[in-house]
Structure 1
């Protein structure tokens, strides 16, 4: 880019050729982008590319001043420039329309839950660009547009993780635009994202969980809350449990499906997904006696109310474990809202339902279970995910390290090291 010129330019590659890309504004102040092919192959020398770029820029500048940008012939001493908004300029499309088109294209290749997430993010993105850049073409999108969007979201209270999530969706969409020749470069590669904050999971202690269990006695969510705390299952995994996943003879419980939800026409739609996202998510646990007892009670009550209500018993989700006494499936939305209501009504330390999963992990870790075993228990796809979440809670390994270095270097006895460890835990 040359600061002395009334336009900016860069070189890029497309279809095995070098292009010079110009950014400038027309007489009406509207931003334009022009692509000029050098007719030089990607394997040409830097010297040849530099010379041809200089030649094309000089000719473009002359034509820019006269306002008569026309064709450049790179094989000759150029006096005019061939301008292209993109190699597929006939496929001009608005940025917002392209994002919606991309959603339709990727829908068959991703899970329904992932698609719902993508759709929510795209809706928020298009709302912003409709407000601040109505009618912006995909070919007119610049890194500055995206940078301003990310900064606005972050300054308005969105976390760095949320901004990164928006960026990931935009980047994937623009990567597809490059793949199908709607764009030559992915402008999302040229932005700066806010620094990620280190996530520290929130959790309940054993005493706090005991109090929570007492509050949920007889509640519709009683079984759901206990399974979350004892097994650390995700909300979608608990609601996806069916009786065919419970083997009372073999004393096992298997996670193999999940329940999610979406909102179409303002109404919650329940979605059953029979295939989990990763292999690590499919796992079998020993059936803990306490949970076994609760499951058998639930199965008895289901049979009782099924006979009592007869045709009025809801049979749409027959076979699923987590239903109320009328047979209606407990929905993901109800779990979230009702759990929050109980927290607020009883003035408990505020946690999300998902934090019961973290509570399970923290108790396992505090009682000597290895990080690798916790990874398998929680169904994390990699060890790093588990370590990033819970490494700050691994007191035992730190105490052992302190005792070892004190013993090797001297100046401390074991009792003093243990006392420091006990104080730290308090």
Structure 2
């Protein structure tokens, strides 16, 4: 049968000397290049069906490797094509770190379709030995996500990582400050320039990035509300603003004890603006350096730990103030749904299981009810 003419870029079909038919089509590769892929068929129609499948994948931008793809090729491609355009920059940075430090060094030479459960288990053991079980668990999640994308792109037929359980990690014991310790910290921080930021962390449970990304346009003193819109992060290229963790904006009523520190911060910043004159960077941020630029996230944490140490308080993370805030709100009888909205969680299970802690006093009070209920009648 004579060969038939196809449109440009759709490949061509011809009959071989052995009687079979052959087609060649240029298709995209996982590394972004284009190479020629060859398919065969016993009849022209069979060969044309295979050719059309290649052309269809090409038009959809789906890679069709001309040879077996190594993980060292697929993982960087997955980061650039699948993760970078769709996920938050912080997520991309975390995934890229696991790919660069663990997945490529331990599994990069393996080909996608030849990866076995034994290879994955060995990788998890190596990462645990090199770093920790928690890091290995995160690498497991990153690799599983990457191979799920490979399955969707029809590069492999199954995701072997799903057959290997992630390492068991002992949850870190959380011991947020008690009410007395929280009051001690606020008293010790009163003279610190970042005192208003500490108040927002303790009273409203704001995340570090949310505090530093706050702008004066988000603070309404008349209605006493604060709108959390963005977060501030440090990346390889410098400081940058991103959406909140759950990509949602939330409005929080401001307690009276937060109003005075915020007004003081605005007055203090106005003095700095005049002193800085032409060198002042007007970004409308609530918390700034002497030149008006946003505060470095690590500097806020350093000030927090310094004040806590000076007050003789147990060492906790700045993020642990969110746990303390949730616990205090629950102790005050605030409804779980309201606490969830204040803290900006997407699921109430996170609020209930992670961010609430029962103190000894709460436990004693609860068990005292048993004395009352089960007390023998006299």
Q: TM-score, normalised by structure 1?
A: 0.66
Partner of 1:293: 260
**How big is the shift at 1:100?**
0.9
Q: Of the candidates 244, 251, 262, which is equivalent to residue 276 of structure 1? A: 244
Contact kept in structure 2, 1:301 and 1:325, CA below 8 Å? no
Partner of 2:77: 101
Q: Deviations over 1:282-337 (max 9, x none)?
A: 2212222221111111111222221222112233xx21111123212112222234
**Could you tell me how far apart the structure 2 residues matched to 1:341 and 1:285 are?**
28
**How big is the shift at 1:200?**
4.3
**How big is the shift at 1:117?**
2.1
Partner of 1:26: none
- Would you say 1:229 and 2:202 are equivalent positions? yes
**Could you tell me how far apart the structure 2 residues matched to 1:199 and 1:383 are?**
20
Contact kept in structure 2, 1:201 and 1:389, CA below 8 Å? no
**How big is the shift at 1:389?**
1.2
**Could you tell me how far apart the structure 2 residues matched to 1:211 and 1:127 are?**
48
Contact kept in structure 2, 1:368 and 1:396, CA below 8 Å? no
**How big is the shift at 1:228?**
0.2
1:393 partner SS: coil
Contact kept in structure 2, 1:238 and 1:258, CA below 8 Å? yes
Q: 1:165 to 1:126 in 2, by over 3 A?
A: closer
- Would you say 1:115 and 2:115 are equivalent positions? no
Contact kept in structure 2, 1:313 and 1:327, CA below 8 Å? yes
- Would you say 1:210 and 2:183 are equivalent positions? yes
Q: TM-score, normalised by structure 2?
A: 0.74
Contact kept in structure 2, 1:95 and 1:137, CA below 8 Å? yes
Partner of 1:13: none
- Would you say 1:187 and 2:160 are equivalent positions? yes
**How big is the shift at 1:149?**
1.8
- Would you say 1:201 and 2:174 are equivalent positions? yes
**Could you tell me how far apart the structure 1 residues matched to 2:108 and 2:362 are?**
57
**Could you tell me how far apart the structure 1 residues matched to 2:324 and 2:65 are?**
55
Partner of 1:364: 329
**Could you tell me how far apart the structure 2 residues matched to 1:223 and 1:97 are?**
48
2:318 partner SS: coil
**How big is the shift at 1:128?**
3.5
Partner of 2:341: 376
- Would you say 1:331 and 2:268 are equivalent positions? no
Partner of 2:222: 249
Contact kept in structure 1, 2:218 and 2:226, CA below 8 Å? yes
1:168 partner SS: helix
**How big is the shift at 1:165?**
2.1
Counterparts of residues 5-404 of structure 1 (less than 5 Å): 90-106=66-82, 107-126=84-103, 128-129=105-106, 135-156=109-130, 158-160=132-134, 162-198=135-171, 200-264=173-237, 269-273=238-242, 275-278=243-246, 281-315=248-282, 318-343=283-308, 347-390=312-355, 393=358, 399=365, 403=369
Which ranges in structure 1 are unaligned for 5 or more consecutive residues? 1-86, 414-426
**Could you tell me how far apart the structure 2 residues matched to 1:90 and 1:206 are?**
64
**Could you tell me how far apart the structure 1 residues matched to 2:159 and 2:275 are?**
62
Contact kept in structure 2, 1:220 and 1:324, CA below 8 Å? no
Aligned length: 313
Q: 1:124 to 1:398 in 2, by over 3 A?
A: farther
Contact kept in structure 2, 1:365 and 1:393, CA below 8 Å? no
- Superposed CA RMSD: 2.8
